[in-house]
Amino acid sequence: MRGALGGVPLNVSLRPVSALDLPTIDRWASTVADHMSRTRPYAEGADRHDSDSGLYWYVIAADGREVGTVWLELLSAASEAVLGIFLGDPSYFDRGIGRAAIALAVAEFRRAHREVPIVLRVRRSNDRAIACYRRAGFTVTGGGSKSLPSGEAVPYCRMVCLPC
């Protein structure tokens, strides 16, 4: 799939995460810690893509360079799936990579789970991410506030896409 910056196309692709990717994912996560409370799927001890257990977890590549991760994870006895994504290299922000990666991951997920709603939570202050999710077909359906370990309350939007 293609993303773009100033009309320059980028080739965006995904490959399944393996345990060997975890140190890189942790390094990327350190660059987005101020914007996200979760940089891995909910599944305790998850260390790889495992569609049999409902975890679709990928490394994102843009023009062949690995730049981030995206996952869809079945929760609540398959009544919904949670989307998570981040790019670990800020020089790749605002190029359409996130939207392209979401489209690719959702397409793969939909092959097995056509009607499962896909949900996410995003910090209300993260305008760039909210705009990306809207362009990917998500709509705001509610919100709330999450307490960080520091005690700080962070408002969030709940977004959903069915189907997307």
Q: Is the pLDDT of residue 134 over 90?
A: yes
| Chain centroid offset of residue 78 CA | 18
Confidence of residue 137 (pLDDT cuts 50, 70, 90): very high
**At 16, is the pLDDT very low, low, confident or very high (cuts 50, 70, 90)?**
very high
Per-residue pLDDT at 74 exceeds 60:
yes
Which has more confidence, 39 or 140?
A: 140
pLDDT at 148: 78
**pLDDT bucket at 3, cuts 50 / 70 / 90:** low
Choose the weakest-confidence range: 25-29, 42-46, 151-155: 42-46
Quick: pLDDT tens for 80-94: 999 999 999 888 888
Single out the residue of 97, 88, 91, 152 nearest to residue 125, CA to CA: 152
State how far Cα 28 lies from the chain centre: 13
pLDDT given for residue 20 in this prediction: 95
Distance separating alpha carbons of residues 131 and 4, to the nearest angstrom = 16
How far is 44 from 152, CA to CA, in rounded Å?
25
Is the pLDDT reported for residue 36 higher than 80?
Answer: no
55-62, strands of its sheet edge to edge: 2-5, 8-16, 55-62, 65-75, 80-87, 118-123, 153-161, 139-147
More confident residue, 147 or 78: 147
Cα pseudo-dihedral 119, 47, 103, 139, rounded to 10: 10
**CA atoms in the 13 A half-sphere facing the CB of 30:** 5
Query: Domains in the chain, ordered, with CATH?
Result: 2-119 (3.40.630.30)
Chain Cα centroid distance, residue 23: 18
Cβ count near 7 (within 10 Å):
5
